[in-house]
Amino acid sequence: MLRSCFRLKRIHLKLFFIAIIIVSLIFIYLKMKIPNDIELENRQKFVNTENNVFEQKLREWEGKIIPGLGDNGETAFLDGQDALDGEKALKKFALNTVLSDRMPLDRKLRDPRNNKCKSLNYSPKLKASIVVIFYNELMSVILRTVWSVLLQTPSHLLQEIILVDDCSTDESLKGLLQYYLDTRLKEYNIKLIRLKHRMGLIRARLQGARIAQGDVLIFLDAHCEATKDWIEPLLARIEEEKTAVLVPIIDVIEASNLAYSTNGDSSFQVGGFSWSGHFTWIDIQDENDKGKVTPIKSPTMAGGLFAIDRNFFWDIGSYDEQMDGWGGENLEMSFRIWQCGGRLETVPCSRVGHIFRDFHPYSFPDNKDTHGINTARLAHVWMDDYKRLFFMYQPGLENNPIVGDLTHRKQLKQKLKCKSFKWYLDNVYPEKFVPDENVFGYGQVKTEFDMCLDDLQLSEDKVGPLGLYQCHQFLAVSQYFSLSNKGELRKENFCAEVFKEQDVQLTECHGHKREQYWILYKNGTIYHPASKKCLSSDGVENGKGAKVERCNGSVFQKWIFNHINQT
């Protein structure tokens, strides 16, 4: 009995071992047979090794960072080969990428605010979602933006940071950035979304805004650095006035040496625009506003850095989703906000640096002029009859189907019962010069020899001679001048001024008459009282600067304006 029992046990044991062997064989067989599993395992291995590669890359990079470089926003230098590589990079990317990679991502910045700001206390309760979009930006620059937000924003005011990759092609942004966030910044709420197609900055921002959950949206370009207490005055103002859209003072971070420069501590500018559809900086118009630390009215905004109540953003029409690429959305939003019941303000106690680059380091699909097309869209919708002035610069876009369908945006304007562009000019930006209103004459300014005053293609922000050129058959912008009611012979913000008693230059209008003051007489002479001379075409060659000479009543001193306003 005992024996048989023992035998039975041995048989069981044998069977047990055989079963184990069979199960193991089946297991091994299945493992070889089912490719999915193998793939899974391999994938895991791949992810692991990839992580190791990422980890290695990050460590290598982190090991090269020079502690203290660029601290306090000071000009930073590299030596030897690095300096040469940096110069090359600057030419290629409009940014010293070599220097950026060596500079700590969490560098310390000076508090750039004016002293009066430092004594103000705000205790907002709103939370912000920071939306940062990018296309092929340098990873260290994106991360410095992120770090500056994390370091300068109290955590109870920060809902999240949303990074939107507009389908960059740059390899390092594909996995390394996510890995950095997952390992180095894992305790923060940072989302990275990658768009499947390049959408352009307008739609990329919309994608970010759609997933945002904070009370306030704050958009930043991907090459910014926030400074001390930057967010409090923005949130506090929105808490007080939901329809206020806010811009910080935008300081310059130099692309060549990443210096954070502030021009003095209290002077700053607000936003304007040119009739060619570009954003411009303008001096604060109201003397009482200068030196203030409370929010100041701004007719437009640059577009890249602003704070807006999240619900208000959607109620007021977010963005024109049919705008492609780059450009135009900033003026569109500025006009829309003012015309449809909001306000745009610059907040002097909030300061954020932005790297200003000399050119775009990226191209656009099909090389389309997206700025022109987008601006044509906004001109049709928001500028009413004043769009005539923009289309003078872009006649080819006025009735061009490339501009696309505008039905939705026009419906929005009706739904929100928005005011006219004339209302905007009269109430928000009364200083804006309208070249065919409040003027004695405008258009081409001709001599009897078919020569016309011409800006000789002077770029919008440069000073140069008031030229003479053969009159174009059709009125081109380069030959469009006005004689304002104040006696300025001008073009947008440039006024003809006499230098060295005879040369006539186009230089920034100052509004104080003096050497920018001209009188148009009925006989066609344009008299310059400060020099007691007359505008003259005598002896001036095609393409050269005009002159003033002693008045002599000759045909060289007779000018005919295309349009004369009867007064």
Binding residues for ligand LR7, per CB under 6 A?
133-135, 137, 166, 198, 200-201, 204, 221-222, 250, 279, 302-305, 325-327, 329-330, 354, 360, 362
Contacts of 411 (CB under 8 A, 6+ apart): none
Long-range contact pairs involving 33-41 (C-beta distance under 8 Å, separation at least 24): none
Region of 214-222, 430-438, 486-494, 540-548 interacting with Mn ion (CB under 5 A)? 214-222
CA dihedral sign, ordered 234, 237, 242, 247: negative
Q: Are 491 and 481 in contact (CB under 8 A)?
A: yes
# residues contacting Mn ion (CB under 5 A): 1
Find the distance separating the first CA and the last CA of the chain, reported in whole Å: 134
The residue to which tokens 């910044």 are assigned: 185
Identity of the residue, 350 or 447, whose beta carbon is nearer to ligand LR7 in the bound complex: 350
Q: Is 232 in the site for Mn ion (CB under 5 A)?
A: no
Q: Is 329 in the site for Mn ion (CB under 5 A)?
A: no
Angle between helices 176-184 and 139-152 (to 10 degrees): 30
Identity of the residue, 250 or 453, whose beta carbon is nearer to ligand LR7 in the bound complex: 250
Considering CB distances under 5 to 8 angstroms, the limit depending on partner class, which of Mn ion, ligand LR7, none binds residue 122?
Answer: none
Identity of the residue, 357 or 550, whose beta carbon is nearer to ligand LR7 in the bound complex: 357
Reference 208, options 196, 197, 222, 194; nearest CA is: 194
Q: Is 221 in the site for Mn ion (CB under 5 A)?
A: yes
The phi and psi torsions of 286 (rounded to 5 degrees) equal: -90, 115
Considering CB distances under 5 to 8 angstroms, the limit depending on partner class, which of ligand LR7, Mn ion, none binds residue 137?
Answer: ligand LR7
Site string (355-394) toward Mn ion, x via CB under 5 A: ----------------------------------------
Identity of the residue, 221 or 345, whose beta carbon is nearer to ligand LR7 in the bound complex: 221
Considering CB distances under 5 to 8 angstroms, the limit depending on partner class, which of ligand LR7, Mn ion, none binds residue 222?
Answer: ligand LR7
Considering CB distances under 5 to 8 angstroms, the limit depending on partner class, which of Mn ion, ligand LR7, none binds residue 179?
Answer: none
Q: How far apart are CA 479 and CA 491, in angstroms?
A: 9
CA dihedral sign, ordered 468, 469, 472, 478: negative
CB of 535 to ligand LR7, least distance (A): 35
Site string (163-202) toward Mn ion, x via CB under 5 A: ----------------------------------------
Q: How far apart are CA 424 and CA 325, in angstroms?
A: 27
The residue to which tokens 């002159």 are assigned: 547
Identity of the residue, 4 or 363, whose beta carbon is nearer to ligand LR7 in the bound complex: 363
Identity of residue 379: A
Q: Are 541 and 451 in contact (CB under 8 A)?
A: no
The phi and psi torsions of 128 (rounded to 5 degrees) equal: -110, 145
Identity of the residue, 141 or 489, whose beta carbon is nearer to Mn ion in the bound complex: 141
Q: Is 324 in the site for Mn ion (CB under 5 A)?
A: no
Q: Is 488 in the site for Mn ion (CB under 5 A)?
A: no
Q: Is 497 in the site for Mn ion (CB under 5 A)?
A: no
Considering CB distances under 5 to 8 angstroms, the limit depending on partner class, which of Mn ion, ligand LR7, none binds residue 117?
Answer: none
Q: How far apart are CA 309 and CA 239, in angstroms?
A: 9
Alpha helices in 318-361 (DSSP H): 329-339
Identity of the residue, 135 or 480, whose beta carbon is nearer to Mn ion in the bound complex: 135
Length of the chain: 567
**Residue 538, Cα to own-chain centre: how many angstroms?**
45
Considering CB distances under 5 to 8 angstroms, the limit depending on partner class, which of Mn ion, ligand LR7, none binds residue 330?
Answer: ligand LR7
CB of 223 to Mn ion, least distance (A): 6
Contacts of 482 (CB under 8 A, 6+ apart): 433, 435, 436, 439, 441, 442, 488, 489, 490, 491
CB of 201 to ligand LR7, least distance (A): 4
In the chain, % helix, strand, coil (3-state, to 5) comes to 40, 20, 40
Q: How far apart are CA 561 and CA 563, in angstroms?
A: 5
Considering CB distances under 5 to 8 angstroms, the limit depending on partner class, which of ligand LR7, Mn ion, none binds residue 305?
Answer: ligand LR7
CB of 270 to Mn ion, least distance (A): 18
Burial class (CB in 10 A: 0-12, 13-18, 19+), 17: exposed
Q: How far apart are CA 380 and CA 383, in angstroms?
A: 6
Alpha helices in 316-432 (DSSP H): 329-339, 370-382, 387-393, 407-415, 421-427
Identity of the residue, 221 or 232, whose beta carbon is nearer to Mn ion in the bound complex: 221
CB of 255 to Mn ion, least distance (A): 10
CB of 306 to ligand LR7, least distance (A): 8
CB of 331 to Mn ion, least distance (A): 16
Considering CB distances under 5 to 8 angstroms, the limit depending on partner class, which of ligand LR7, Mn ion, none binds residue 277?
Answer: none
Identity of the residue, 133 or 379, whose beta carbon is nearer to Mn ion in the bound complex: 133
Alpha helices in 255-328 (DSSP H): 310-315
Q: Say if strands 190-194 and 216-220 run parallel, antiparallel, or are unpaired.
A: unpaired
Identity of the residue, 216 or 495, whose beta carbon is nearer to ligand LR7 in the bound complex: 216
Identity of the residue, 227 or 505, whose beta carbon is nearer to ligand LR7 in the bound complex: 227
Considering CB distances under 5 to 8 angstroms, the limit depending on partner class, which of Mn ion, ligand LR7, none binds residue 360?
Answer: ligand LR7
Identity of the residue, 122 or 279, whose beta carbon is nearer to ligand LR7 in the bound complex: 279
Would you tell me how many other CB atoms lie within 10 Å of the CB of residue 171? Answer: 8
CB of 355 to Mn ion, least distance (A): 7
Region of 4-12, 221-229, 417-425, 541-549 interacting with Mn ion (CB under 5 A)? 221-229
**Residue 163, Cα to own-chain centre: how many angstroms?**
16
Reference 383, options 302, 447, 458, 328; nearest CA is: 328
Q: Is 251 in the site for Mn ion (CB under 5 A)?
A: no
Region of 198-206, 216-224, 265-273, 343-351 interacting with Mn ion (CB under 5 A)? 216-224
Identity of the residue, 316 or 453, whose beta carbon is nearer to ligand LR7 in the bound complex: 316
Residues interacting with Mn ion, by CB under 5 A?
221
